């Protein structure tokens, strides 16, 4: 009687141990299969053109957040934190590549990084001073990326994590806020630096962070240049005396930046081992869209869908930024601009399609397109 009990007990315990071992093996294996299954990763850095909700989780203000309606109304049916009525350029790229929409680094349930992570933060700039205290600066985004590379090394081992990181695509939209913030905060920084000096400082900080990311194993860099910053609904109203023309000083800063950006990328390609870039000409494509909205199926190229005042340029969309009153258009897909500074899903979708078009197109500057990067190379 006693003997039988012991034998049975032993049987259970062996069964249980085998079960446990199988469970452990399949878990370790499970994560590896996840990785091998798709083998495509997109890491995203930058500002509100690419933030998919990181600012929902930081101590900031509603000026740097979009986690309230009508943000998100078109596609998600709830506000995800994206500064649009729906998806962003990076979301459409993820769809082209057939990976899940890349989740924000700070999203609490985001704990698998095999297909990439989104580090972008609305309001962020290359300079730490830009909207300091309300955003995750570009440098900090690179530190967060370093944490993810450590996690990947633990999970996959050194060789496989290296392969993942060097095959992955890295997308950037950074710099706009470095130029917008002096105009929006009445800072006098542009009185202390010439335009070329200020651009050199922004580019210098951009470059040192890019080098950090490269040092961690990144090779394929996709960069959006700066849009025509003086022609956003929110910047048209700054000095126009009611005319609503573009704020030339801001658009000119963006152009100087974009020229310097191209030059520095060519330089990095010479300096850094394995570094490749694809520079998406966001500036030229968006300018064309603003000036010829009908060609893209839009009715409105200059005014925002959501906001108040002339061009709906006052940043009041959602009524949570101090000003409760705001207007909202019925059909966001008829406008290029969603709010004072950001585009509609419909505009982002068309820009993503332009970005995705094959090599030799007029939308990308440099030898590669993002599509080349995702195909084996
Ligand atoms: C968030 O920021 C506000 C204002 O800067 C500050 O008073 C508050 O203590 C901060 N909260 C946390 C949790 O850091
Ligand atoms: C980076 O920006 C800081 C200001 O935040 C500036 O003092 C510094 O010179 C810049 N670094 C480079 C390499 O340009
Ligand atoms: C634009 O949006 C409206 C509703 O907001 C929808 O009925 C219409 O089909 C959309 N048009 C296109 C071209 O997607």
The residue whose C-alpha atom lies closest to atom 1 belonging to ligand 3 is 333
Number of the ligand closest to the Cα of 330: 3
Question: Which residue pairs, CB below 8 angstroms and at least 24 apart, start in 247-253?
Answer: 247/183, 250/179, 250/180, 250/183, 252/195, 253/179, 253/195, 253/198, 253/199, 253/229
CATH, domain range 39-294+343-375: 3.40.50
- Residues 340-362 have a mean pLDDT of 93
Ligand 1 center to 290 CA (angstroms) = 39
Residues 136-156: tens digit of each pLDDT: 999 999 999 999 999 999 999
Tokens of 140: 């900090």
Distance in angstroms (rounded) separating the CA atoms of residues 321 and 64? 9
Distance in angstroms (rounded) separating the CA atoms of residues 211 and 272? 8
The whole-angstrom distance between residue 96's C-alpha and the CA centroid of its chain comes to: 16
- Greater confidence (349 vs 2) lies with 349
- Which residues are annotated as catalytic? 48, 339, 342
The residue whose C-alpha atom lies closest to atom 10 belonging to ligand 3 is 333
Candidate from 26-30, 36-40, 166-170, 265-269 with smallest mean pLDDT: 26-30
Q: Ligand 3: which atom is nearest the Cα of residue 331?
A: 5
- Residues 105-117 have a mean pLDDT of 94
Structure confidence at residue 317 (pLDDT)? 98
Ligand 1 center to 58 CA (angstroms) = 10
Which residue ranges make up each domain of the chain? 39-294+343-375
Q: Is the CB of 209 under 6 A from ligand 2?
A: no
The residue whose C-alpha atom lies closest to atom 7 belonging to ligand 2 is 201
278 has which bridge partners? 222
Q: Is the dihedral of CA 96, 100, 101, 103 positive or negative?
A: negative
Q: Is the CB of 290 under 6 A from ligand 2?
A: no
Q: Which residue has the tokens 């651009």?
A: 199
pTM: 0.90
């Amino acid at each position: 009687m006693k003997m039988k009990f012991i034998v049975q007990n032993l049987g259970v315990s062996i069964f249980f141990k085998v079960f446990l071992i199988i469970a452990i093996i399949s878990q370790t294996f499970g994560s590896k299969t996840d990785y091998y299954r798709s083998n495509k990763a997109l890491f995203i850095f930058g500002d509100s053109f690419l933030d998919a909700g990181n600012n929902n989780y930081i101590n900031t203000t509603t000026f740097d957040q979009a986690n309230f309606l009508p943000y998100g109304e078109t596609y998600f049916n709830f506000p995800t934190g994206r500064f649009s009525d729906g998806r962003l350029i990076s979301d459409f790229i993820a769809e082209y590549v057939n990976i899940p929409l890349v989740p924000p680094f700070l999203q609490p349930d985001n704990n698998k990084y095999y297909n990439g992570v989104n580090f972008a933060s609305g309001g962020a700039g290359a300079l730490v001073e830009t909207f300091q205290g309300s955003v995750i600066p570009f440098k900090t985004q690179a530190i967060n990326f370093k944490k993810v590379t450590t996690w990947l090394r633990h999970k996959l081992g050194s060789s496989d994590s290296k392969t993942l990181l060097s095959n992955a695509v890295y997308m950037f939209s950074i710099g706009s806020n470095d130029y917008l913030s002096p105009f929006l905060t009445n800072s006098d920084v542009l009185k202390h630096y010439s335009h070329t000096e200020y651009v050199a400082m922004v580019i210098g900080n951009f470059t040192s962070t890019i080098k950090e990311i490269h040092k961690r194993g990144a090779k394929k860099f996709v960069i959006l240049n700066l849009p025509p910053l003086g022609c956003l609904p929110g910047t048209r109203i700054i000095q126009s005396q009611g005319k609503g023309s573009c704020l030339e000083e801001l658009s000119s800063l963006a152009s100087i930046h974009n020229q310097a950006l191209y030059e520095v990328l060519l330089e990095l390609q010479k300096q850094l081992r394995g570094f490749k870039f694809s520079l998406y000409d966001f500036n030229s494509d968006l300018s064309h869209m603003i000036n010829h909205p009908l060609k893209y199926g839009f009715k409105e190229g200059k005014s925002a869908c959501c906001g108040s005042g002339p061009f709906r340029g006052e940043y009041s969309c959602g009524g949570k930024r101090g000003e409760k009153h705001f207007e909202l258009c019925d059909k966001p897909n008829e406008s290029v601009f969603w709010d004072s500074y950001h585009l509609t899903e419909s505009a982002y979708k068309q820009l993503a399609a332009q970005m995705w078009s094959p090599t030799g197109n007029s939308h990308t500057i440099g030898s590669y397109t993002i599509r080349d990067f995702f195909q084996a190379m």
